[in-house]
Structure 1
Amino acid sequence: MTVLQVLVKTKSFLGLLFSFVLAACSSTNNNAPVNLKAGLPVGAVLSLTGNANVYGQDQRLGLELAQAAFKPGSSMPLNLIIEDGGSDEAGAINAFNLLINQGTTALIGPTLSQQAFAASPIAQRRGVPVLAPSNTATGIPEIGSFISRVSAQSSVIAPLSINKVMQLDPAIKRVAVFYANDDAYSTSETTIFQKAIKAKGLNTVTVQRTQLNDQDFLNQITSALRAKPDLVVLSLQAVDGGNLIRQLRELGFKGKIVVGNGMNTPNIYPICQRFCDGILIAQAYSPELKTKENQAFVATHKAQQGGRVPAQLTAQAYTAYQVIAEAAQRLNKREPLKGMPLRQARLLLNKEILSGTYNTPLGKISFSRDGEVKQESFYVAEVQMNPDGQTGRFALLK
């Protein structure tokens, strides 16, 4: 466990203490049979309020599309219960406890890695499978045997964009790095970025630290520009990252910008506006993937969203639901869930999730023994903004 993760847990001490009390007072009887009246109960904890709601809204859409796709004709439909985890640790902790105490057999979420380090240990202690759709920080599956993810870790994704930007501009030599020092995702990803930068023989001329919810970056940007970087690399969430890019361009930086997974959403467009144009980002999903599963997913998304293609977070949330739905179907055929004690159902469902192979919008995926997603294809995209300065697309770079 990293020092940051320890600090995150310390920061969340009161929330975790409250969770222990809730767990002790829970009326859920783990030996009682699973409640299948409305389908197999599965919870989802999404950031629907706070700064991270730009991610949570993408994820909720993915879950809604998956519900429609996997419910018809199912012998074991899922009863999805969505809770708002806010954008902090306390919100995720409370939502996890609420859903676990309601007798859910598995959880999807939470949205942020920072939240996962605080909330997922609760599910681990209580034997509830968690499938993370957007937690990319190092150490997420290592929380425990009930924790897995469909979001590829930053150590796989982040170096791809550094490789690509060097192909596009081999003259790059000097790099400025920005990251939020109070965010688990940012601190994890920037370490990976900085290793990739060093491996390419580039010179990191400055490392600028910000904090979540910062809006004014004048001091950090001014300091960075004095170092005359050719490339800026950001590991920030969507809102603060979008604001920093806009201010960076307004203050005169004209070089390449590489951003991390925290900005992997079309919701950045209204934030950095025309200044989003040209930023590079590695991705674990492409709407251009030519599989029948992805083409069906994209077609449905376009039909419901006015022709817009799905975002990575939408595809990953859809995939998380699909994995649990298919695993539940297989398990129910082999060992009927009707009458099964809740504790046993959670344990067997977790094993079933990890043992399967799934054809998803992300492509074919499976899991390692410790819950890490195994995925074949990754991409690098460049943001291309439309003339309105409010909309754009992630254009894949070949």
Structure 2
Amino acid sequence: MPISTSDRGEKLVAELRQRASALGFDSFGIARADARPDLPEKLARALDAGWHGDMDWMADTAERRGSTTGLWPEARSVIMLGLNYGPQSDPLALLNEKRLGTISVYARNRDYHDIIKGKLKELAGLLARRSGAEVKVFVDTAPLMEKPLAEAAGLGWQGKHSVLVSRDFGSWLFLGAIVTAAELPVDKRQPESCGSCTKCLDICPTQAFAAPFRLDARRCLAYLSVEHKGQIPLEFRAPMGNRIYGCDDCLAVCPWNKFASLSREARLLARPELERPELAELVQLDDVGFRALFSGSPIKRIGVSRFLRNVLIGIGNSGQIDFVPLVEKRLDDESPLVRGVAIWALRRLAPERAEALRAGLMAREKHADVLAEWSGDNP
């Protein structure tokens, strides 16, 4: 049943806004499903440049991803919701504490998919009952470009770091979408308001931005530490520092974050054990311990081997000699990914010790990637 911009439609939207706020959402906006006809061309340009790295699913779903109506032909309106997850302290401060690992702010609580999806379903159910129109709910689980749609819906604008920036919550918004066959009154799009500021580009430790508003995931530590399944390329290991899951640098430096402190009281609080995790403890995790520590966390999805890969890079960058025995224990890890990066970490911390162990361990090593780590020049 179509809903027009009549009084009935306005009343429905007002009810939806009120219910969204009661559910804990901080931002609400509506856009036409076809509000971003520029997306297919932009997506094609990024894919042609290879900026998606080995996220092949982006290319595989390009036709649907570039258009909401391509994903669902009956779509007429998109309701975009934002939930503030701004941190209580500056996440960049942890980068100087070399014995600790830095976990991206979004991953310090429960998996945001779980946090948002139930709320979206409840709100979508209300819309379906009131309008009689079909609805679909998305939380980063389908080929839907949430950030451009959130921009079209007036939640903010995509900054030069490609993340949505809000006048009220800076760069700290979880996004969710309700796509519907109902035609709803739309919100006004906000103008891009980054001005001449380039702080997010300048702070990037790996120069991952090909240009303002253009991110090359192959150089992005958030991508490399979370999505990338193989070994971290050598040129990015030292810049990775102690970032063991994600990277918040470009988000945390955004001047608009100063308004995030005005958020609602029911902000998402980080789990204490994930705010200041000790590298010495993390590197000793086995699969059971890893699953227990990160139960309900998005970190669990990358698995223990990739997580230990990241932790060992943090240890290799720490300069802490007392970590050497912990690194040596990982030289015999069953995962070649872990064995390989343990070699790099040991050579960083104690090159003479690494050289003393080199011949013996190489003699029994079968994996080509691990042998390549032993054979490489001292990093």
TM-score where L is the length of structure 1: 0.24
TM-score where L is the length of structure 2: 0.24
Larger Rg: 1 or 2? 2
Q: Which one has the bigger strand percentage? A: 1
